[in-house]
Structure 1
Amino acid sequence: MHQMISVFLFLTVISGTVIVISSENWFVIWLGLELSTLALIPILCSNFSPRNVEATIKYFLVQAFSAALLLNSALIQAWFSGSWSVLVPMESFPSLCLSVALAFKLGLAPCHFWLPDVLQGLPFLQGLIIATWQKIAPLFLLFYFNQLSFSYFIVIAGLISILVGGWGGLNQTQARKILAFSSIGNMGWIVVTSAFSLGTAAMMLLIYLIINTAIFLILDFLGIFTLGHLNNTSQLSPVSITLIILTILSLGGLPPLTGFILKFSSLYSLISNGFILFSSIMIIGSLLSLFFYLRIAFNTTLILFPQHLISLTAWRNSASTKPLMAKTWLISTFSVLSILAIPLTVPLYINI
């Protein structure tokens, strides 16, 4: 794809998200979502391999269905209330339709089935856009929605997502599928928290974007697609594997890494409002996800992950797993923030 076309498409994706965030009209919001999705489709299938095209088509069909459901809920709401404004409280049926549409866009359980398969079929950089940037607009819509009415469907979907994200990643060996289930679990944390504290949820979203961006960029740079590749990288560059382990454990919320403030602030918000049962379910889901994060660290540093004998020496002739010695400032910045940014998040947490 020509460089100017790629820049134009990226700017269109960004402008679609900005339109969604800045608008208070349901029709304009729908236009922004469609603009962002249609501009992203050529970017996703730029490699034009069969698996890549398949993942792009699946993503397009899911997003088209969720956008149609969102427009349908907006039309029904406009029929009931006579207004297209986001600030008007929604009726029960359009509220349910909107909740399902946002659950599909965010990959919340039980509407999560598309996300692992789509991320597995895309390169890391395209998957990074879906796992980070494309979550911003639906989450801001969800924040608007939670300000007006409390949706039990969204809260229950968030709790199920935390459990599904932890349980689904236990037996995965593909790095992109592990990141997909991790994204499902973290979206559940943010969604549940947004029902009780929007400020805390916004801070959690920022931390999630930083950590996830660092992990995707590092794995793409080192060419790590499976857990077996982590073993090869550990033999080639201990510094690189240490950085990967710390960022992944930060994503799991292990103290004293940056991701710990994400889980701590969410639990503090829920317990302060008296939702002990919800907090218990979230802790159980967090322990499940932390288990497979620690399993990755254990298999990487202490034992060899089960793999074919030939792959044990493949790294010697591989150019994709070069040491992380002269990386760009972008990966360095996101890596440092994802590991050591708790002192920066504490003032934000105190203000909230």
Structure 2
Amino acid sequence: MSRIISTILFTTILLGTFIVVTSQNWFIIWIGLEISTLALVPLLCSSFSPRNIEATIKYFLIQALSAALLLNGAMIQAWLTGSWSILDPTNNVTMLCITIALAFKVGLAPCHFWFPDVLQGLPFLQGLIVATWQKIAPLVLIFSLSSNIFSVLLINAGLISIIIGGWGGLNQTQTRKILAFSSIANMGWIVITSFYSTQGAIIMLIIYLLINTAIFLILDLLTISSLGHLNNVAQLSPISIILTTLLILSLGGLPPLTGFMLKFTSLYFLISNNFIVLSSLMIAGSLLSLFFYLRISFNVSLILFPQHIMSLTTWRNNMSTNHLSLRTWFLSLLSVMGIIAIPITLPLYIII
């Protein structure tokens, strides 16, 4: 795919999300979601492999289903009230359709079944867009509709997502599936928090986007598609593996890394509103996720398979005197912020 076409498609995706975030009309919101989805489909199947095409078709069918539910719910609302505004009170049928549609788009359980397979079949850069940017618009809708939407239904879905996200990632060896189940769990944390504090949910979304972007980019740079590749890359680029390990632990919420602020923010607002039982269940579910994050870090740091002496010193001999590329500087900045950005994220409480 040429650079001009890719630039146009990326701009269209940004435009679709901007339309959804700034609009208060259901029909315009539906148009923004469809623009973003249709512009993303050609990018997803750019490598044109059978697995890639399969993942693209699955993604398109799920997005078409969720868009149909959203449009039908909005049409029922317009038929009964004569208004397309998202600010007007809605009936139960409309809210049920919209709730299910947003759960599909975000990847909340039990509407999560498509997400791991789709992410596994996509390259890292395309998977990054699906796992991060494409979730901004539906999450903003959930934040906006937190007073009208079925809160009990989405809170239960979020709690199940935390458990399934941790349980599903236990026996996975493919890094993209591990990131998919991790995203499902994190979406559960963000959605539950949004009903008790929109400001806290926004902080969590920013931290999630920051850490996930850094992990996807560094895994793409090192071409780490499975956990077995971590042992080989550890011999060739020790610093990169240290960054990868710290980013994975940060995503798991291990203090004092940046990802700890994601769960700390949620627990702070939930406990402040006296939701002790719900917080306890969320903590218990997150322990499953933290277990396989720690297992990955343990394997990387302690299990070193025998290698030829030349491969052990390849990273030393490949040191060049050329200036670092802009991509390397950007990835380094994201990695550092994803690991030790607590002093940066703390002011978000004051700003937001």
**TM-score, normalised on structure 1?**
0.94
Matching residue's letter, 2:97: C
Instruction: Assess if the C-alpha contact under 8 Å between 1:59 and 1:114 holds in 2.
Output: yes
Quote the Cα distance in structure 2 between the aligned partners of 1:87 and 1:329: 43
Q: Deviations over 1:207-229 (max 9, x none)?
A: 00000000000000001000000
Identify which range, 88-97 or 253-262, moves more after superposition: 88-97
Aligned to 1:199: 199
- 2-side partners of 1:35 and 1:323: how far apart? 44
Quote how far apart the aligned CAs of 1:88 are: 1.0
2:3 and 2:147 map into 1 onto residues whose CA distance is 41
* Partners of 1:96 and 1:153 within 8 A in 2: no
Tell me the equivalent position of 2:10.
10
Residue by residue over 1:16-54, the C-alpha shift from the partner in whole angstroms, topping out at 9 and shown as x without a partner, is 000000000000000000000000000000000010000
Contact 1:150 1:195 in 2 (8 A): no
Compared with structure 1, are the counterparts of its residues 316 and 109 closer, same or farther at alpha carbon in structure 2 (3 Å cutoff)?
same
SS of the aligned residue for 2:283 comes to helix
Mapped to 2, the partners of 1:256 and 1:176 lie a distance apart of 25
User: 1:36 aligns to what?
Assistant: 36
Alignment-derived partner of residue 143 in structure 1 = 143
Q: CA deviation at 1:149?
A: 4.6
Q: Does 1:337 align with 2:334?
A: no
Q: Scaled by the length of structure 2, what TM-score is found?
A: 0.94
RMSD between superposed Cα atoms in Å: 2.1
Structure 1 partner of 2:166: 166
Opposite residue 345 of structure 1, the aligned amino acid is T
- Which amino acid is the alignment partner of residue 138 of structure 1? P
Letter in 1 for 2:122: L
Deviation at 1:82, TM superposition (A): 1.6
Q: Deviations over 1:287-323 (max 9, x none)?
A: 1100000000001111258xxx9xx67x949x9xx98
- Alignment-derived partner of residue 283 in structure 1: 283
Identity %: 67
Instruction: Name the aligned partner's letter for residue 52 of structure 1.
Output: N
Q: Residues 189-268 of structure 1: matches in 2 within 5 Å? A: 189-268=189-268
User: In the TM superposition, what is the alpha-carbon distance from 1:349 to its structure 2 partner?
Assistant: 2.1
Unaligned runs of 5+ in 1: none
Residues 161, 184 of structure 1: 8 Å contact kept: yes
Work out the CA distance in 1 between the residues paired with 2:235 and 2:128: 27
CA distance in 1, matches of 2:215, 2:56: 22
Deviations 1:92-128 (A, max 9, x none): 1111111100000011100000000000000000000
Task: Give aligned pairs, total.
Answer: 344
Compute the displacement of 1:77 (Å).
Answer: 1.3
* CA deviation map 1:191-240 (0-9, x unaligned): 00001000000010000000000000000000100000001111222111
Aligned residue in 2 for 1:78:
78
**Maintained 8 Å contact 2:96/2:150:** no
Q: Which amino acid aligns with 1:84?
A: W
CA deviations 1:124-143 (Å, max 9, x no partner) are 00000000000000000111
Superposed displacement of residue 286, structure 1 = 1.1
In the aligned structure 2, how far is the partner of 1:48 from the partner of 1:157?
34
Q: Give the direction of change, closer, same or farther, for the CA distance of 1:323–1:23 in structure 2 (3 Å limit).
A: farther
> Which residues of structure 2 form unaligned runs of 5+?
none
